[in-house]
Amino acid sequence: MIHMTTIGNMLDDTASKYQEKEALVYHERGLRYTFGEFQAICNQAARGFMSLGIQKGENIAIWATNVPEWVISQFATAKMGGVLVTVNTSYRVHELEYLLRQSESTTLLLMDSYRDANYLAMIQEICPELQTCEPGALQSKRLPHLKNVIYLGDEQQPGMFLWSDLLERATWVTEEERNARQAMLSPDDVINMQYTSGTTGFPKGVMLSHVNIVNNAIKVAECQRLGLADKVCIPVPFFHCFGCVMGTLACVATGATMVPVIVFDPGVVLAVVEAERCTALYGVPTMFISELNHPSFAERDLSSLRTGIMAGSLCPIEVMKKVVDQMGIRDITIAYGQTEASPVITQTVPEDSLERKVSTVGRLHAEVEAKIIDPATGDILPPGVQGELCTRGYLVMKGYYNMPEETVKAIDHEGWLHTGDLATVDEEGYYRITGRLKDMIIRGGENIYPREVEEFLYTHPKVLDVQIIGVPDVKYGEQVLACIRVKPHETLSEDEVRDYCEGKIAHYKIPRYIQFVDEYPMTASGKIQKFKLREQALELFGQSNPNQTGTA
């Protein structure tokens, strides 16, 4: 069954049934909202956004960790028709400017900093006009669409609204006006935009509708058997579908309690699970590995845990066994998908055997079609034969924002989304992800697109040529290797390359390994053979992990 509803209506429906049930708990901050209270704060923030003159369909970017304002903004924008544009917390100046410009965002919400990245300094570098403009009246030379910047902090910043200002401005708009706006929205409207890269190397805005992500959240919840009694610990970032679809939306769809962790820290996750008696835990394999190996692990009472999702990267068998045996998450599920598919295509269920959970990515969600095709001919392949996985149904994105040519490459004329992933399916409908047509690297759940890193490193004055490939890694799944040809009569060191990257591209994209080469293996027609570079790299840096399976 496909649910034809909006995110705002879904929240209202859940809140009407379970007014006093806990909806959102921030253990670290002592913050707790019932569904009634959460609905009220989301409505207030929605009126605040409307008071800024933001219209239905305008893009509102948010750049922050899993703070309370993030999840409130997610539902508030969905109620007033703003499209939430999620910004990776690891982005630096170059990436942020590109995203804000390409998305044509009119509003940006941001926190002060994250790790070693000063968000305020970066937006002020891009928009020096903030120093002299009134809040809401930004006229940026580099970002002509951006008008409003909202600071998720307590100290007044030049040219910016505070979050408290937004909530106070809610009185400028009546609840009747907000209700009328919510009633205007269609389930097929785009309401969420997440940036992902591809073969072009330039991030693309994946446009997702209410129907896309509401229904995917419901299916994800069903596979875990989530219900009113469940409390879901969400340490995965909200800016990914893992956090804001499989996490927050799945909880609101079922009446489960959202228990976010603001920034992933294994000790904090363990403490929150114990204190709040969480029944479900999400994470990429590296997160589970960190939790299992944390000094406090043996002391923690995790007996409340029942289910959860491991996704986002390769899943080692031994890790899965420990998650089941030592953490007690007997009903853990594995999910596979991609942002363009809202995101989950296949998922295991509690009844699946451990062998199924570690060797496959489960079966198709209900209401989802898939086929394995020969990439060269497009012919459908029989069970057990490797080919490209394609999917069709409610879950396929509306397209890439302002990139019609890229959209046509991804979604064919029959509505099939071509994932670019190689897979097989067995006679019982279980899928295995066996490789990638494209050379995407998945490091600890983060997608890294070689062309994007290559384009950046080409800007180094000493780099003649560069090829980025993935090398297997036990902890992170894959690491980035840069094979660099240096310009004649120049010398370049590994430290120089990494120093050049620091502060300019996200930390997880900075090459872990650097190899200086005189030439690349080439085909007769002059194309670089990346697979040969990868084989050479395996001998030098990698260690194969045969007992792994790909996940979302």
What are the residues whose beta carbons fall under 8 Å from the beta carbon of 16, sequence distance 6 or more? none
- Is residue 496, in this structure, part of any structural domain at all? yes
CATH number of domain containing 134: 3.40.50.980
- Is residue 210, in this structure, part of any structural domain at all? yes
- Is residue 77, in this structure, part of any structural domain at all? yes
**Type of residue found at 443:** R
Among 70, 77, 450, 79, smallest CA distance to 239 is for: 70
Which residue's entry shows tokens 């003159």?
53
Dist CA 151 CA 107 (whole Å) = 11
CATH number of domain containing 524: 3.30.300.30
Burial class, 282, CB count within 10 angstroms (exposed 0-12 / middle 13-18 / buried 19+): buried
How far does Cα 394 stand from its chain's mean position? Answer: 19
Dist CA 280 CA 235 (whole Å) = 11
Q: CA distances (Å), 282 to each of 3, 248, 531, in order?
A: 25, 11, 33
Dist CA 87 CA 333 (whole Å) = 27
**Which pLDDT belongs to residue 550?**
44
- Is residue 8, in this structure, part of any structural domain at all? no
pLDDT by 10s per residue, the chain, length 552? 999 999 999 999 999 999 999 999 999 999 999 999 999 999 999 999 999 999 999 999 999 999 999 999 999 999 999 999 999 998 999 999 999 999 999 999 999 999 999 999 999 999 999 999 999 999 999 999 999 999 999 999 999 999 999 999 999 999 999 999 999 999 999 999 999 864 345 789 999 999 999 999 999 999 999 999 999 999 999 999 999 999 999 999 999 999 999 999 999 999 999 999 999 999 988 899 889 999 999 999 999 999 999 997 667 777 888 999 999 999 999 999 999 999 999 999 999 998 899 889 999 999 999 999 998 899 999 999 989 999 999 999 999 999 999 999 999 999 999 999 889 999 999 999 876 676 778 899 887 878 789 889 988 999 988 989 998 888 898 999 999 999 989 999 999 999 999 999 999 999 999 999 998 887 544 557 777 888 888 888 865 443 444 445
Dist CA 150 CA 144 (whole Å) = 17
- Is residue 140, in this structure, part of any structural domain at all? yes
Dist CA 66 CA 422 (whole Å) = 33
Tokens for 116? 């070693």
**Which pLDDT belongs to residue 527?**
54
Tokens for 142? 């580099």
- Is residue 272, in this structure, part of any structural domain at all? no
Tokens for 470? 């993935």
Dist CA 524 CA 526 (whole Å) = 5
Q: How far apart are the first and last CA of the chain?
A: 23
Tokens for 356? 């199924």
- What number of CA atoms fall less than 13 Å from residue 491's CA on the CB side? 1
* 61 and 103 Cβ atoms separated by less than 8 Å: yes
- Other beta carbons within 10 angstroms of residue 236's beta carbon come to 26
- Is residue 537, in this structure, part of any structural domain at all? yes
* 367 and 345 Cβ atoms separated by less than 8 Å: no
- Is residue 57, in this structure, part of any structural domain at all? yes
Q: What is the DSSP letter of 462?
A: T
What are the residues whose beta carbons fall under 8 Å from the beta carbon of 290, sequence distance 6 or more? 266
Among 522, 499, 520, smallest CA distance to 511 is for: 499
Q: What is the DSSP letter of 293?
A: T
Q: CA distances (Å), 284 to each of 165, 312, 414, 498, in order?
A: 36, 5, 33, 26
**Which pLDDT belongs to residue 289?**
86
Task: Count structural domains, the chain.
Answer: 2
Among 19, 30, 14, smallest CA distance to 276 is for: 30
* 452 and 508 Cβ atoms separated by less than 8 Å: no
Tell me the residue range of the domain where 176 lies: 37-215+234-241
Q: CA distances (Å), 48 to each of 6, 151, 166, 205, 298, in order?
A: 20, 14, 5, 25, 46
* 388 and 23 Cβ atoms separated by less than 8 Å: no
Q: CA distances (Å), 137 to each of 53, 59, 99, 253, 511, in order?
A: 12, 17, 21, 37, 40
Q: Could you say which of 241, 259, 277 is where a domain stops?
A: 241
